[in-house]
């Protein structure tokens, strides 16, 4: 997904974003959740662990994903 395609998504879209890590950590990681903000230089994904702000320039890949499965009955 290109930055332009990411910016065109409606807020609330569920997606997974792979992005580069900097500093002490190296490599890449994923953020799975709902798109809550997208701007010229960053986007924010609301994950189960909280909001993750990702620089657009650090995004390696992004794609829409279906809603989570319904909870299983006990």
Cβ partners under 8 Å of residue 4, min gap 6:
none
Whether the CB-CB separation of 37 and 11 falls below 8 Å is answered with yes
Rounded average pLDDT over 44-68: 94
In angstroms, the CA 39 to CA 3 distance is 10
Domains of the chain: 3-64 (2.30.30.520)
List helix spans (H) across the chain: 3-8
- 10-54: pLDDT as tens digits: 999 999 999 999 877 789 999 999 999 999 999 999 999 999 999
Parallel, antiparallel, or unpaired for β 50-55 and 42-47? antiparallel
Percent pLDDT > 70 in the chain is 100
Long-range contacts of 23-29 (CB under 8 A, 24+ apart): 28/60
What predicted TM-score, i.e. pTM, was given to this entire model?
0.85
């Amino acid at each position: 997904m290109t930055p332009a395609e990411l910016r065109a998504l409606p807020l609330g879209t569920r997606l997974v974003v792979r992005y580069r890590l900097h500093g002490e950590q190296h490599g890449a990681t994923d953020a799975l959740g709902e798109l809550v903000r997208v701007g010229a230089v960053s986007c924010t994904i609301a994950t189960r662990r909280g909001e993750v702000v990702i620089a657009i320039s650090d995004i390696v890949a992004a794609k829409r994903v279906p809603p989570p499965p319904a909870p299983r009955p006990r």
